[in-house]
Amino acid sequence: MLKLTKKVDYALLALNLMARNEEGGISNVRDIAALYSIPPEILAKVMQKLSKSGLIQSHNAPKGGYSLKVPAEEISVLKVLVAVEGPVGIVSCSDGTDRTCQQRDQCDIRSPLERLQNNILWFLEALSIRELGQEPAVLKGVTDGSSLFGQPLHHKG
Amino acid sequence: MLKLTKKVDYALLALNLMARNEEGGISNVRDIAALYSIPPEILAKVMQKLSKSGLIQSHNAPKGGYSLKVPAEEISVLKVLVAVEGPVGIVSCSDGTDRTCQQRDQCDIRSPLERLQNNILWFLEALSIRELGQEPAVLKGVTDGSSLFGQPLHHKG
DNA sequence: GTAATGACAGACCAAAATGGTCTGCGATAA
DNA sequence: TTATCGCAGACCATTTTGGTCTGTCATTAC
Ligand code: SF4
Ligand code: SF4
């Protein structure tokens, strides 16, 4: 729950790579998949979605592949997320998938939750794939999160 | 993806109700379930988890039920989330569920993603169930997102 | 012209997560 | 002593997810 899917993970890895290869450079699915040990077929699907949503440009030919269609700075994590998985909503009532929530009539927490959601979306929008490949210091926002809430937030190494 | 589960939704509804009934008040599963049209059995399970994690107090007896164990202000959405669904992580590598990520060796986006995750967790921690039932204006934290970045976030000092 | 490359498309499947049900036991106050 | 209400866990159906397989279309290097 609250987890990014593997497909999004793949998309971010690929886009980060392409961002480093700089605009104009062309990468093909097979190479990227091999580099990151991603199943080629599934990465292909992901790339197609990114292409359809206009984030990357396809070159359908031998020696072809994909290249960034817009500058890396303008490709936010949120855009990638939406491109690959569709509309995002932390509560089902807010992204159109579940307009038949049984609790809706009595629900008195919808408004604050939507606000929370907007904040989260804002974070996702504020992080671009350009920043993905850069050092932590460059990132805007907060904290190193060490021992934030008693959970295993990360394992260095 | 990135969606709260129904169980969490149920937990938040119940806790919000109990918060309004004020500390000390006792609510039982059957009543809450009826009020919100929640399957009683599943709400029961949810409440048990909340109880085990110390957020609410159970009164096992006729006329019994549950009451808040700590002030509503101190029950964050994140705590509820962890109580009901376990550790939270937006990337599988960061919550212990997937320590065998095939991409890990070549992964160059882990650090920024963990940072993003910490920001999100921070928001979840900053929102208490007390605020859930209140008007938007009362919400702490940044609400319109206009000045979200470029400054350290300080909520709930 | 044609063959090799690489994108495009979609059916298909297995595993996991999720949402929900059922059954029985244990505590306690009326 | 019994009705109420929490405790516990097995169990199941549906959905989501991750992944596979099969084949077609566009381009260009040769
Ligand atoms: S319970 Fe409220 S917040 Fe949750 S999905 Fe239903 S309407 Fe939305
Ligand atoms: S690809 Fe990187 S960020 Fe994603 S799960 Fe694996 S290690 Fe974590």
**Averaged pLDDT of chain A:** 85
pLDDT at position A156: 32
> How distant is the Cα of A21 from the closest Cα of chain B, in angstroms?
14
pLDDT at position A13: 97
Measured in angstroms, how far is the CA atom of residue A89 from the centroid of ligand 1?
A: 11
Tens digits of per-residue pLDDT, A60-96?
999 999 999 999 999 999 999 999 999 999 988 876 5
Tens digits of per-residue pLDDT, A125-135?
999 999 998 75
The pick from A5, A7, A9 for probing ligand 2's pocket by mutation, whose C-beta has the most ligand atoms within 8 angstroms, reads: A9
The confidence band for B24, taking pLDDT boundaries of 50, 70 and 90, is confident
Say if B150 is an interface residue toward chain A (CB within 8 Å).
yes
Strand-pairing partners, residue B54, are none
Instruction: Spell out the long-range contacts of A73-77 with Cβ–Cβ below 8 A and sequence spacing 24 or more.
Output: A73/A128, A73/A130, A74/A128, A75/A15, A75/A19, A75/A128, A75/A129, A75/A130, A76/A124, A76/A125, A76/A126, A76/A127, A76/A128, A76/A129, A77/A12, A77/A124, A77/A125, A77/A127, A77/A128, A77/A129, A77/A132, A77/B116
Tens digits of per-residue pLDDT, B35-92?
999 999 999 999 999 999 999 999 999 999 999 999 999 999 999 999 999 999 998 8
pLDDT at position B2: 93
CA distance B59 to B16: 19
Strand-pairing partners, residue B66, are B27, B58
Name every chain B residue with its beta carbon within 8 A of the beta carbon of A98.
Answer: none
Say if B117 is an interface residue toward chain A (CB within 8 Å).
yes
Structural domains of chain A sorted by starting position, each given as residue range(s) with its CATH number in brackets: 6-144 (1.10.10.10)
- Output the distance from B38 CA to D13 C1' rounded to whole Å: 18
- pTM (2 d.p.): 0.88
